[in-house]
A and B are shown apart, each in its own frame.
Chain A
Amino acid sequence: MLSRLRPLGDERGTTLIEMLVALMSGMVILAALTALILTTLHGSARVSARVHATQRARIVLTRLMEELHSSCIAPEIAPIQEKSTGTSLRFIHQTGSAVQPTPVLSVVSLSETTLSQSDYQQTGGTAPSWTFSEEPSSTRTLLTSVSPTSPSTSIFSYYTYTNGTISSTPQSTPLESTAAALTVEVRAALTAAPESTPVKDAGASASVRNSATLRLTPPSFNEGSPSRPCQ
């Protein structure tokens, strides 16, 4: 920096000050750069954590919605079962190529922060009064680190038709058998946190929501006719 300066007697002090200043400013710049890089790294970690959380939540929700959309396995049945609550969804469903699919009773429930699904096989009966095994044939974890979207809301909510439109107020839970027989829409809304927490950041969790309508056709114009599921 100072290579072109001549060696003069009083120049040394100046050089030292210059050196110090240069060092100082260099350090300041380095510190700023380090902070910048740290912030960027932090931010990108958060973004990837959130993307991860979103993906996890979406896949589970999509799968759940597909199962709900495959729940009208016989005409005019009520797929949503009684005793469903805001954290536990009980429904029957089946997919497959069979003309008369064998229903499966699934219970998707939240315990602590883990969402899991238990499947119960059919043991007998005909539509709509099937009987199901007492013991689950399989239980698997759908999603961990799950919570409702806000402390006051529930993960699952159940709606009926009133006057041709889906009611805006959910039914009270746990569902009575009469309420379950009228449930035509299920909404699910949940917040998933990233699986591991490389960054301690509440903002890294992702909320997703979706709803499934359990109707094959829109309800009749006739106000008096009942608008039940799977019609």
Chain B
Amino acid sequence: MTPPGRRTTHGEDGFALIEVLVSALVLAIVAAGVLALLQATTRSAASERRHSEAYALVQEDQARLRSLRLSSLNRLQQKNEFTLDGTVFTVESIGVFVNNSTSEPSACSGSTSADYVRITSTVTWPGSLAPVVIQSIVSPSSGSLDPNHGALIVTTKNAAGKALSGVGISGSGPGSFNGTTDSSGCANFTDLSTGNYTVTPTATGLVGRDGKPPHAETAGVEAGVSNPLSLEYDTGATVSAEFENRIGSGSTFEPAKIDSLFVFNSLGAKDYWTPTNARELLVKATPVFPFISPVSIWAGSCESNNPGAGAGTTSVTLQPGEELKPTLKLKVPTLELTVKNGSSAVSGALITITDENCKDEKGTSIKREYTSEANGHQSNSTTGKPEYGLPWGTYKVCASAFYSGTNHRAIESGVVVHSLTSAASKTLSLPSSGSETGSTKTC
């Protein structure tokens, strides 16, 4: 070990010691390597032992599952824990009806059937690299399902008709069930007692054809029949619109303040309102279901006030999650109201314009309130600008003012506001003698 040819005697002992130390170090490193190897061998032996124990457990669980009633096996999801030699093994048992031809969980259309139950037992334990899994099938023998029970097959799709997975489905009624739609967008609930069920879907951030988040639906289950329930959800789109109405009979337009926007498709429609139902220059409709066919959008709140083709409506195709740009420009018809007392305009009268066709969600009439300004036109205050623009519709207009100690009121029904070419104008002449007493303006 001492380098050859070294002649210096002084300091040589120190050098030799270092050499010894270095060789000891090398040996220590080698020993550490050997030790690590030994440890790895021991560990793998231990892991082998756990594996063998897990395999025994998984076989035991399969035998147990085979002795269960078929209706208990379907949609079975169970976790059991067993302790063996200080190791906690978790046994997960899953049972699901599968289809014969595809080996996929029984799904959607009536043509595929639930042929047998696939039972899967999975054993995991702390530190397990891969779980031990055994999968097998149980074929239902005749009479193993109640002939008085039926099935419900829930299908979820998006606007494009593609499968929508991961929608939670829970049902209650004569029985209860719980599940999630799979990658084919299906959730199959077999062996249910007959009757009507309330099916509640859970899908955050999605919207249905009716423009509302997923909500409970009713589905019937009949004996010996698989009843389908198809649900359609997608990410809502956003549409904003600004409005303008013609001034008088001229060719100039001015921005109009509108409170509601109607989005119509033959498959579903919804009215969208400003946050406090106030009249605003810009109305935002969100979330709108992104129908695959174009939607018609106009100012208004129900289908019967459809302005028909023209500048008052626009047709767009929306993409899921899209925020439509630029802001839509929609024309609205004009109604010029003038409140008069004899020949002089009345300021400060309460004007209400009630939609004769549309009702809100609660079924009450939609009523818009104004105050007449200095020239007797409808406005948001006695000093504000007239607000002639109105959503399309047929209205009942009413003016009421209090003066000379009594309340004066004039009402006109069936005022059609449905033209872009000429403004509808209406003069509400308050009667010379007050009809009611009291200072409250009534309309």
List the interface of chain A (C-beta within 8 A of B): 1-2, 4-6, 8, 10-11, 14, 17-18, 21-22, 25, 28-29, 32-33, 36, 39-40, 43, 47, 50, 54, 149-150, 163-166, 184-185, 191, 206-213, 215, 217-222
Contact of A221 (CB < 8 Å), options: B12, B57, B63, B145: B145
Asked whether A164 lies within 8 Å of B67 as measured between CB atoms, the reply is no
CA of A36 to CA of B28, assembled, Å = 12
Given the complex of chains A and B, what is the CA–CA distance between A58 and B16 in angstroms? 60
CB nearest to B61 among chain A residues = A211
- B116 to chain A minimum Cβ distance, whole angstroms, is 13
Asked if B2 and A213 make an inter-chain contact with CB atoms under 8 angstroms apart, the answer reads no
Bound complex: CA A107 to CA B13 (Å): 79
Of the listed stretches B81-89, B101-109, B235-243, B288-296, name the one at the interface; the rest are far from the partner chain: B81-89
Q: A22-B20, A47-B45 are in contact. Are A36 and B31 (CB under 8 A)?
A: yes
Find chain A residues with CB under 8 A from B70 CB.
Answer: 218, 221
Q: A29-B24, A149-B83, A208-B56 are in contact. Are A18 and B67 (CB under 8 A)?
A: no
CB of B336 within 8 A of chain A?
no
Residues on B lying within 8 angstroms of A by beta carbon are 1-2, 4-7, 9, 12-13, 16-17, 20-21, 23-24, 27, 31, 34-35, 38, 42, 45, 49, 52-53, 56-57, 60, 63-64, 66-72, 82-85, 138, 141, 143-146, 149, 191
Q: In the bound complex, what is the Cα–Cα distance between A199 and B267 (angstroms)?
A: 79
Q: List 19 A-B contacts (CB under 8 A).
A: A1-B16, A10-B9, A11-B9, A14-B16, A17-B17, A18-B13, A18-B20, A36-B31, A36-B38, A149-B84, A207-B85, A209-B60, A209-B84, A210-B60, A211-B60, A212-B63, A215-B67, A221-B69, A221-B145
- Does A213 contact B9, Cβ atoms closer than 8 Å? no
The answer on a CB contact under 8 Å between B24 and A166 is no
Q: Is the CB of B17 within 8 A of A21?
A: yes
Shortest Cβ-Cβ A-B pairs, 5 listed: A164-B69, A14-B13, A213-B67, A221-B146, A164-B72
CA distance A112 to B216 in the complex (A): 63
Given A1-B1, A18-B16, A218 and B67 touching (CB < 8 A)?
Answer: yes
Beta-carbon nearest neighbor of B85 in chain A: A207
CB closest chain-B residue, reference A13? B13
Chain A residues, Cβ within 8 Å of B31: 29, 32-33, 36
B20 in contact with A218 (CB, 8 Å) = no
Question: Are B49's CB and A217's CB within 8 A?
Answer: no
Q: How far is the CB of B396 from the nearest CB of chain A, in Å?
A: 62
- In the complex, the answer to whether B69 meets A17 with C-beta atoms within 8 Å is no
Q: Which residues of B contact A184 (CB under 8 A)?
A: 67
A2 pairs with B2, CB closer than 8 A:
yes
Q: Which residues of B contact A5 (CB under 8 A)?
A: 2, 9, 12
Structural contact, A164 and B191, CB atoms closer than 8 A: no
- New contact pairs (9) apart from A14-B9, A221-B71, CB-CB < 8 Å: A2-B16, A36-B34, A40-B38, A43-B38, A208-B53, A208-B56, A211-B63, A213-B63, A220-B144
User: Which residue from B20, B52, B57 sits with its C-beta under 8 Å from A21?
Assistant: B20
Q: Is the CB of B69 within 8 A of A50?
A: no
A23 CB to closest chain B CB, in angstroms?
10
The interface residues of chain B lying within 8 Å CB-to-CB of A11 are: 9, 12
Q: Point out the residue from B9, B16, B66, B143 that lies within 8 Å of A8, measured CB to CB.
A: B9
Across the interface, do B2 and A4 meet the contact criterion of CB distance under 8 Å?
A: yes
B63 touches A207 (CB 8 A): no
A18 to B12, CA, bound (A): 10
Do the beta carbons of A218 and B146 come within 8 Å of each other? Answer: no
* Distance between A217 CB and nearest chain B CB, rounded to angstroms: 7
* CA–CA, A150 and B86, complex, Å: 10
- Expressed in whole angstroms, the minimum distance between the Cβ of B55 and any Cβ of chain A is 12
Q: Are B85 and A206 in contact (CB under 8 A)?
A: yes
With a CB–CB cut-off of 8 A, which chain B residues contact A164? 68-69, 71-72
